[in-house]
Structure 1
């Protein structure tokens, strides 16, 4: 049995605040639409798939501004080392990740999420589990394990370039059982096509 979608909450500003009309206008100008009805809880993890192009970041930032939610995100640490751009990346919620030495990242993030839960503060983390725009044989497990260990829901977000749609409409409570959870992830995300579909990874954890 797959995890059931969590009940979505509506009409509460802390879950779906008013976003930027300019960002929504720019997305519309380029033909993109956003499917988002709000978050079910104050804390959680968003897994964004597929990640195959630099355009994903551009569209993702516009979506973040369009929906007006202060989502944090994991980003490649080299981006944050670039003058001005690095400061801007942090300003929009970026958390630098050293992919060559990620030790301690999951534990530190779990602690942040738990602290936010205790304080009843908003903390949603977005991550592209493929970890790269290039083809890889599976997902990195860090963000998934954050959700499992912190006992928070996962939002399954997607880029679908053929329909020019960015969606965050499915939320599940991960069980920690890999086959069960990833079967659900595949059911929701498996038919989504990135800018370069041939670079999308299979929806499974990459062997360490």
Structure 2
């Protein structure tokens, strides 16, 4: 899909900022990246982004956010919200998270989904740039509690592509659902493949087409 043809479906909340949208698309062209796939026409969704192995993932994600003009909330460690960067992070949609109160964060985000007619939450389920075998489960509990579909998004550095994959409807079987979702991502996509644990692909239990 060409960058110029990127348009959000009507149900998705937008930033409505022509300048940032143009800037995001310009930067994508300059660095040679493209976006493959489209966000589904849902007013509420949980977007999970992987692999997350480098500091470059965040500016790439912001560039894609601007290019799509989507309005979303994302979770990030609270240390990133100190002045003066904190004001920018909040303007982008960031919400500071302390690891010791993850349960509260899940409850707060479920509340936001239920209070708002349109709400998009994005997060990196690995929770760190370092090598980890397991994902943090908060994204799943939010999606089930909201309720909202999960949208897997991948950063493929090997082809310079932001991949927007098919929406996934959680079944309530966490272990089976996460095996499927993790199996969608490839180690070869990561900027630092040695920091990403590649799981084998499992058949989906419930995929929204």
Which category describes the TM-score, using the shorter chain as reference length?
0.7 to 0.9
Instruction: List alignment gaps of at least 5 residues for structure 2.
Output: 1-6, 201-209
| C-alpha displacement of 1:192 | 5.3
Contact 1:138 1:203 in 2 (8 A): no
Where relative contact order (Cα < 8 A, 6+ residues apart) is larger, the structure is: 1
| C-alpha displacement of 1:193 | 1.6
TM-score in terms of structure 1 length: 0.83
Match in the other structure for 2:110? 110
Moved over 4 A (4+): 16-19
Could you tell me how far apart the structure 1 residues matched to 2:13 and 2:165 are? 13
Match in the other structure for 1:189? 185
TM-score in terms of structure 2 length: 0.83
| C-alpha displacement of 1:158 | 0.6
Match in the other structure for 2:12? 15
Match in the other structure for 2:32? 31
Could you tell me how far apart the structure 2 residues matched to 1:199 and 1:147 are? 26
What is the aligned-residue RMSD (CA, Å)? 2.1
Bigger share in helix: 2
Match in the other structure for 1:128? 124
| C-alpha displacement of 1:202 | 4.5
* Cα-to-partner distance string for 1:159-183 (whole Å, 9 max, x where unaligned): 1110011112321101121233123
Shift in CA distance, 16/188, structure 1 to aligned 2, threshold 3 Å: farther
Match in the other structure for 1:4? none
Contact 2:10 2:41 in 1 (8 A): no
Could you tell me how far apart the structure 1 residues matched to 2:93 and 2:188 are? 26
Q: Are positions 1:168 and 2:169 aligned together?
A: no
Could you tell me how far apart the structure 1 residues matched to 2:137 and 2:9 are? 31
| C-alpha displacement of 1:67 | 0.2
| C-alpha displacement of 1:40 | 2.9
Contact 1:44 1:124 in 2 (8 A): yes
Shift in CA distance, 152/203, structure 1 to aligned 2, threshold 3 Å: farther
Secondary structure in structure 1 of the residue aligned to 2:148: coil
* Cα-to-partner distance string for 1:92-126 (whole Å, 9 max, x where unaligned): 1001001233231111111111111xxx2x21100
Contact 1:110 1:149 in 2 (8 A): yes
| C-alpha displacement of 1:36 | 3.7
Could you tell me how far apart the structure 2 residues matched to 1:61 and 1:11 are? 16
